[in-house]
Amino acid sequence: MTNILQSYHNWIQWVHIIDSNVPWPTIGIVACTHGGETVWIHVIQKLEKSIRGKRHLIKGKIVFILANIEAYKKNIKLQKHSCLTRKDIINSRYIEENLNRCCDTLLLQHPHTYERKRANELTSVLNELDIVVDIHSTTQPSWSMTLHTKKSYEQFKNIFNTDEVYLNLIDTIKGKPLLTITENAGGIGIGIETWCQLDTSWYTTWLDNIYRILLSFNMISKDMIDEKNILLPKKANQQYMIIGSIMKNNTTFKPIKPFKNLEKVKKWSPIAHENDKMIYAEQDCLIIMPGMNKPWEEYCFLAKPLSSIN
């Protein structure tokens, strides 16, 4: 089994490829876009072991990418010196700026931060992918989620197996996430958020979803999915359309209360205040993924159940 922490593709660190030598498709698995989400190294090693190199890969390529090297190292260093807290995980998400908010084409033309330099470094790899799946975990209990772009929903809306499905969230993000690089090159990007990485069952949801997309392209055989690599029962998921977001533009931003994920708010309900101005919901909606991110990121997204949209 290859250790991805010692892997290179050409000169690019932490990229490992399994190639069947049969063309198409090329699927990228991106992990550690945020440094604190270190569980995915173990998941990648589990997946790589189950495929056993080229022997079980019928066609195409799988490209494993660990995205934010320095943030990962920062998190590991914190683990060595203390019992890792949720605050430590948040503080080691990135070095200078969120790698999942700095990949707009215009921003990457000005690579003055570590994260933009790393995104530029990975661009040649991401441009080669037909599909990229960016995997994440949370630090608190949550449902598993598929985050579809417009392109991915059209082709893969029935493939993945998560509790919730969000449409238009990736397209709404300001600054643009890492998978945008693949989409701009003609590929398809998908995000998967599994639940809290402190939950011992986190890896099963992720492996289940990756096996499903590999099976959908006949890249692996069903015989490979034995009693050790079983697919989970299909979930009856709830689907939501993202209709907007609430931005945190500076340090004066403060929500009026600690909102919960999927909490309902009525039209013109106050959500936060910033610079002595109140920010209101412009229509009935749900609060999605509220979190105290740094300025110039979304405090939360706003959504409606897909069934309620005509």
Which sequence spans correspond to the domains of the chain?
4-236, 241-308
CB 289 within 8 A of CB 167: no
Give the pLDDT band (50/70/90) at residue 42. Answer: confident
**Cα angle value 39/182/28 (rounded, 5°):** 40
Query: In terms of Cα–Cα distance, which of 251, 241, 141 is closest to 200?
Result: 141
- Mean pLDDT score across all residues of the chain: 89
Q: Which CATH number fits domain 4-236: 3.40.220.10, 3.40.630.30, 3.40.630.10, 3.40.50.300?
A: 3.40.630.10
Read off the pLDDT of each residue in 176-183 and give the average, rounded to a whole number: 97
Read off the pLDDT of each residue in 287-301 and give the average, rounded to a whole number: 88
Query: In terms of Cα–Cα distance, which of 279, 53, 301 is closest to 191?
Result: 301
Highest mean pLDDT (candidates 5-9, 87-91, 122-126): 122-126
Q: Residue 13: pLDDT above 70? A: yes
Residue 93 or residue 121, greater confidence = 121
Same fold, 4-236 and 241-308: no
* pLDDT digit string, tens, across residues 215-271: 999 999 888 776 566 788 999 899 999 999 999 998 999 999 999 989 999 999 999
Given its phi and psi angles, is residue 113 left (phi above 0), alpha (psi -120 to 50 degrees) or beta? beta
Give the pLDDT band (50/70/90) at residue 310. Answer: very low
Q: Domain 241-308 adopts which CATH fold? A: OB fold (Dihydrolipoamide Acetyltransferase, E2P) (2.40.50)
Residue 103, token pair as written in the block: 């990949």
